[in-house]
């Protein structure tokens, strides 16, 4: 390959890396602000996150266009091809993470009460854990740090376990007071959105490993125990018969 072509190819690769990193910083801000908007019921911040989603979507399209044009012009092989394929997958995962941050912000606007006091500490902990994983995996991408990517991949279990614990506590909150049903339903969706952002961070970790080593992580992704509600136990027939008897006047 002529020298000028090599230089031009290197320029294309650096441009793709820079655009992916910029997209990552934008989505990281979306996730951080969405968590803050949810916990504080901050409508202004929530609307800002929702508005940022258009910019994130446009950046994803820009990265994808750069990748397609680079593949068409340069026909990369080996490490360079891994770099480009990895960047494509990472941009897609970042775009989905931004969409989920937007969803959380929309739920924050719909909430009609503050997050229940008993749930707030663990909700903050989950939001911070997800944000930390996203920041770490973006740093791993920029530094081409396979070990840091592995740490993020293994931390997915921690997110699952905390999300499952919170899921059960939100259900208890709903059952203890019917007035909380609507707000807690929004929180359940937010919990799932945060967990899915964690999954996308883990996907990015897999892409970083592929870029750096050309290999995948061995074995299944570590997952926390799935939440299982207590089985429904119907009342005994005798008890149900008594419950069905009409009330007698005193």
Q: Can you read off the two tokens belonging to residue 216?
A: 């995948």
Label residue 144 by pLDDT band (50, 70, 90): very high
Label residue 231 by pLDDT band (50, 70, 90): very low
Instruction: Answer whether residue 236 shows pLDDT above 60.
Output: no
In this predicted model, what pLDDT tens digit does every residue of 4-38 receive, in sequence order? 466 778 888 999 999 999 999 999 999 999 999 99
For residue 95, what is the domain's CATH number?
A: 1.20.58.220
Query: Is-contact 156 218, C-beta < 8 A?
Result: no
Query: Is-contact 28 138, C-beta < 8 A?
Result: yes
Query: Is-contact 153 207, C-beta < 8 A?
Result: no
Establish if 97 belongs to a structural domain: yes
Establish if 46 belongs to a structural domain: yes
Instruction: Domain count for the chain, please give it.
Output: 1
Label residue 111 by pLDDT band (50, 70, 90): confident
Q: How far does Cα 91 stand from its chain's mean position?
A: 13
Mean pLDDT of the chain, nearest integer: 86
CA distances from 26 to 55, 57, 122, 239 (A): 9, 11, 25, 59
What b/e readout covers 105-133, taking b as 16+ CB neighbours within 10 angstroms? bbbbeebeeebbeebeebbeebbebbbeb
Query: What value does the mean pLDDT take over residues 200-218?
Result: 93
Query: What value does the mean pLDDT take over residues 241-245?
Result: 42
Establish if 205 belongs to a structural domain: yes
Query: Is-contact 34 104, C-beta < 8 A?
Result: yes
| pLDDT value for 133 | 97
Query: What value does the mean pLDDT take over residues 199-203?
Result: 96
| pLDDT value for 230 | 46
CA distances from 106 to 31, 33, 34, 41, 48 (A): 13, 12, 9, 11, 11
Give the whole-number percent of the chain exceeding pLDDT 70.
84
Establish if 174 belongs to a structural domain: yes
Establish if 228 belongs to a structural domain: no
Residue 102, domain extent: 3-216
| pLDDT value for 218 | 75
Query: What value does the mean pLDDT take over residues 31-54?
Result: 95
| pLDDT value for 7 | 77
Establish if 240 belongs to a structural domain: no
| pLDDT value for 222 | 65
Establish if 25 belongs to a structural domain: yes
Helix boundaries (H) for 75-180:
78-110, 120-143, 146-176
Establish if 123 belongs to a structural domain: yes
What's the farthest any 2 CA atoms get from each other in the chain?
Answer: 101
Q: How far does Cα 224 stand from its chain's mean position?
A: 16
* HSE value, Cβ hemisphere, 13 Å, CA-based, for 86: 27
């Amino acid at each position: 390959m002529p020298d000028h072509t090599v230089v031009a190819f290197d320029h294309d690769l650096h441009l793709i890396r820079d655009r992916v990193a910029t997209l990552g910083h934008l989505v990281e801000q979306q996730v951080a602000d969405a968590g803050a908007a949810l916990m504080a019921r901050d409508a202004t911040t929530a609307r800002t996150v929702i508005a940022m989603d258009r910019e994130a979507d446009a950046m994803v399209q820009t990265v994808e266009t750069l990748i397609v044009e680079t593949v068409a012009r340069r026909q990369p092989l080996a490490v360079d091809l891994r770099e480009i394929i990895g960047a494509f997958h990472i941009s897609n995962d970042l775009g989905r993470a931004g969409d989920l941050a937007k969803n959380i912000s929309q739920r924050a606007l719909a909430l009609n009460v503050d997050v229940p006091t008993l749930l707030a500490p663990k909700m903050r902990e989950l939001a911070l854990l997800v944000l930390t994983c996203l920041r770490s995996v973006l740093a791993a991408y920029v530094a081409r740090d396979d070990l840091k990517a592995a740490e993020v991949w293994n931390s997915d279990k921690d997110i699952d376990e905390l999300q499952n614990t919170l899921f059960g506590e939100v259900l208890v909150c709903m059952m203890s007071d019917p007035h909380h049903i609507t707000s807690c339903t929004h929180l359940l969706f937010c919990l799932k959105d945060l967990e899915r952002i964690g999954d996308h961070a883990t996907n990015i970790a897999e892409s970083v490993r592929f870029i750096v080593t050309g290999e995948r992580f061995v074995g299944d992704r570590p997952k926390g125990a799935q939440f299982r509600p207590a089985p429904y136990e119907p009342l005994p027939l005798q008890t149900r018969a008594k419950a069905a008897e009409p009330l007698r006047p005193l």
